[in-house]
Structure 1
């Protein structure tokens, strides 16, 4: 059998497309899972897989056999066992809590509808309370590089099965960093979306106002592809939000990163070394690094566990606390019971503080593409964690706990291997709905890193051909809107990002329009023409209408053909305005014409 361990989405798609494999390969894959592997709480039984394969066949037939209509066709995935799937118990790593949901969680339903095959449900810190991966009656999940160390949590099993290539991607959850810390400890990507981007319907809540379902994958490209399938407004989730599509969709060549002015590693010089190397790598990519005051971030992080916000966890588990307190892990119970000490007045005061700190954090990040931090300042052995379970857990959350309270999105990335062979990660954070821009920057980072994928020793595949970012319009500009030209600000102030310089098809003529201020060209299709230099910019779709409203006659926005066959939106000119215009086609572009005028 051809090994599918560690395959990326692109490799799965290509293998299905060329007929190298058929979907029933998941039966063979499932048989390879070790029975003693406690990263799983439940694995798909043969009859469950057979039923999913039958559904997949029906879905393919419904789209006329076109696999491209099922973007996750036959791709194996796993979900954290606090997320519902019909036909599977949900335990949240507490057998006494277990129940049988009647339907899939909204995100699981979307992934299955796109063709993905659920291979199992994964272990976690009980009730998603912890960043360690050790607080489970099903056992502590080992680090995928060194079993003496913790895997990170609470999404421990979901990170482990991806890092070892047992599935192509998995779902975790992230309240305090549970979708990021395990990614950093296992050399994989952890995508923490903007709150409400993925529906939480069918999720066992931890802190309902800040919970996010997250995505683990071997590559940024895969994580973002999965999120694009799973996202969408869901009226059944009171905290679901529609993407306004106003945020940047990419990061320009001049990367602007903030980093904490004072960094904390709790004496871990190996993690510190990897982070310092990461900063230097970003500088080599052209990034401008600016230290910022981290105190508001730290103050907000402290609120999640050391203030009234912990009462949200108490609300989520009130029935278990009242009826079966002994069924709860002692460390988890101790944390959750703290919520009983706070009053409603305390909670309102905490919300006022959260709002103030969140505003300060978002103001701090204005003007930056992202905040760059270590995913975790340190890592611990399982033996160390047993001695100091709360203290060391708190250390892991130093750079994560503030994120959801401040309404930020985040992308955890592999950064390098320490001197002892353990992985260490970095995280990029930005305001809500900057997810696509973070993914764009994350792909650039991962492409130049040269690390193996997870713990598989496999190399990063060649990137897919670039396409316009979701939620954007790709616009070709030819004159006064080019970089450095007088009207370029109309793009940049609307969060448009330069993608590339290229050429039109060889069927255009360029004219200098008389009497325009500032001077503008007119581009027109002609029987006898040549290729003209243009710039391609990706603009958030919600800002596109504003931009078009400012385009004066005789110019307009239409469809433009490029030299490589692509078609994009671009500037065109009405024919009546060209009679008195100067034909400047021979210059091949507006810059050359402007330069010729001295």
Structure 2
């Protein structure tokens, strides 16, 4: 029997106990048919297609939990391409059939995840409320009179109601965070450029981010790690340089009196204050900061030339199909016509000036903690005043992508009547995505708010996110244990944590080993060789897990000391020399990932 909320820990336990992805799919089919919210999906994956995908997975990887997301069901916002399902962006006249999966979908499917359908959204991802769709408005899982949040409305409701283990959204102004708050979920908003946008219908291409809705921070981070990674086909993709945060004495910036605005919602304000108390109890140092320059940057997204990016994304379609737009969405996008190239440059100058001002505030705090949304409202209230009400939701979210931030939204509890949830968002500088996670997880657990609609659910201990302890042991990996590769789960399941990426020094050569399943490379040091180094990742494992991991390494592989390009010397995978004699040298590819991309996994 599966739990109401399909967190990864519970689902993996069910698979270990003998259930199969086909059993899971049958449960999803029943739950989907019984759902009280008909507006969640635009295009559900047909029942027989779901069953076929489950069977195909079991043939490809018959061992339970043998892939990082083996048999995990997920929903996809309908502005992200899924081969076999139309992409509509909640505009039927815009619909097209994608020829291939978006990059993130391909990576998730390769990891064993199963798409259960395309979810509803504010049309063209323009809105934070979830009512701007011809397919209806998904509702809060706690009160159908209230909005679900948007624009990733159906994605959040799918997870919160127990139809999916996770769902993908997109976030330009807060669309991956506000629906999380309104449905008692975690919202993972990566640093812009960390997760590629290839195959995503753009809203504002330069600041769009693919996001994750999940039951726990641990789940969301694990899923994000499957999706992330540089993709040259995305002009805004970046190679991450992970940034750390203090392990102790974390300084958390909170709103001062002048910038506090909850639009009369005293319940959300009380929950924000309670979250501040929890952060202090967890050992954080609470500091006030001036939100004004962040707020002024946020205003540029809808009241500045960045709205012209929304027009750039759909200008040709708007020219021929203006009548097919939601009236509010059309009003916003056509507002871009008021801006010219001069305004675009002036807006950029203003943003950079504000960035300098926010830099002074970052000197006070390591991370910021803000209300995810300062208030909520009913669907009726939103429809009566769609621009103003929607703007209230984005007061504390709109700046994050413009200012290149990472963010994790977590539940903060329920109002005084136990009726509606609210949330807080932890915001960090670029590429603090992993570093934010332990504190975000601790805040979620301390709130005791449950997961999704199951407000009594206990967060699984196995999914707890912790910062690597001082006694964690680093290990260098070069092949099948790299992020996104088939054996990476051996590190993550053991409590491993990726410390950094890098390269060896120039004295190492890489070979493709014969007959290994899955395919593996052999790294050999040749002091007489001078090259550009081999791509590596450094992971940290708990000491006992490190010992088990090393014990299970099969010959001809073993561990030894590897010198990195920065001069450090760490324990990592090496290969016995005899095993590469006569083998194919692949040093020219610069690393195993490049070799696999060029030649295919069976090479």
2:96 corresponds to 1:99: yes
User: Which whole-Å deviations, capped at 9, do the CAs of 1:313-368 have from their partners, x for residues lacking one?
Assistant: 01111012100001000000000001011110110111111122223324422463
1:286 and 1:328 mapped to 2: Cα distance?
A: 49
Equivalent residue, structure 2, for 1:258:
253
How many angstroms does 1:452 deviate by?
1.8
The one of 386, 391, 395 equivalent to 1:389 is 386
Larger of the two Rg values belongs to structure: 1
SS in 2 for 1:131: coil
Q: Say yes or no: does 1:7 pair with 2:2.
A: no
Cα separation, 1, equivalents of 2:114 and 2:444: 27
Q: Aligned pair 1:45/2:53, yes or no?
A: no
Structure 1 partner of 2:290 = 293
Contact 1:194 1:432 in 2 (8 A): yes
Pair 1:17 & 2:46 matched: no
- Structure 1 counterpart SS, 2:145: coil
Match in the other structure for 2:556? none
In 2, the alpha carbon distance for the partners of 1:242 and 1:474 equals 28
Residue number among 440, 443, 449 corresponding to 1:442 in the alignment: 440
- CA distance in 1 between counterparts of 2:451 and 2:277 reads 22
CA contact (8 A) 2:406 2:430 kept: yes
SS of the aligned residue for 1:541 comes to strand
Deviations 1:375-424 (A, max 9, x none): 01111111111111000111100000111000001111100100241001
Q: How does 1:224-303 map to 2 (within 5 A)?
A: 224-245=221-242, 247-248=243-244, 251-261=246-256, 262-303=259-300
Question: Does structure 2 conserve the Cα–Cα contact (< 8 Å) formed by 1:133 and 1:151?
Answer: yes
From the superposition, tell whether residues 28 and 339 of structure 1 become closer, same or farther in structure 2 (CA, over 3 Å).
same
Q: Structure 2 matches for 1:339-418, cutoff 5 A? A: 339-366=336-363, 368-418=365-415
Q: Say if 1:474 and 1:539, in contact at 8 Å, map to a contact too.
A: no
SS of residue paired to 1:10: helix
Determine the structure 2 residue equivalent to 1:26.
Answer: 25
- Displacement after TM superposition at 1:458 (Å): 4.7
Question: How far apart are the structure 2 equivalents of 1:134 and 1:152?
Answer: 8
Match of 1:541 among 494, 497, 500: 500
- Give the CA deviation at 1:543: 9.4
CA contact (8 A) 2:370 2:426 kept: yes
Q: How big is the shift at 1:22?
A: 4.4
Asked if structure 1 preserves the Cα contact closer than 8 Å seen for 2:2 and 2:14, the reply is no
TM-score in terms of structure 2 length = 0.77
- Give per-residue Cα distances to partners, 1:506-556, cap 9 Å, x unaligned: xxxxxxxxxxxxxxxxxxxxxxxxxxxxxxx9894369999xxxxxxxxxx
Work out the number of aligned pairs and report it.
Answer: 493
Q: What is the CA–CA distance in structure 1 between the aligned matches of 2:545 and 2:283, rounded to whole Å?
A: 31
* Contact 2:178–2:393 under 8 Å retained in 1: yes
- Which structure 2 residues correspond to residues 545-564 of structure 1 after superposition, within 5 A? 564=544
Task: For residue 415 of structure 1, give the secondary structure of its aligned residue in structure 2.
Answer: strand
CA contact (8 A) 2:21 2:54 kept: no
In structure 2, the residue corresponding to 1:32 is in which secondary structure?
helix
The whole-number CA distance in structure 2 between the counterparts of 1:374 and 1:456 is 22
1:56, 1:122 → 2: CA distance?
23
**TM-score, scaled to structure 1:** 0.78
C-alpha distance 5-287 of structure 1, shift in aligned 2 (>3 A): same
Further displaced range: 169-178 or 252-261: 252-261
Q: Which moved more, 1:25-34 or 1:82-91?
A: 25-34
User: Match of 2:12, SS?
Assistant: helix
Q: 2:76 aligns with which of 74, 79, 99?
A: 79
* In 1: Cα distance, 2:272 partner to 2:465 partner: 31
Partner deviation per Cα, 1:192-250 (whole Å, 9 max, x = no partner) = 001111110010000000000000001111111110111111111111111123x11x6
Give the 3-state SS of the residue equivalent to 1:317 in structure 2.
Answer: helix
> Please, which runs of 5 or more residues in structure 2 have no aligned partner?
475-495, 506-537, 551-560, 562-603
- The answer (yes or no) to whether the contact 2:253–2:289 under 8 Å persists in 1 is yes
Contact conserved, 1:251 with 1:438, CA < 8 A, in 2?
Answer: no
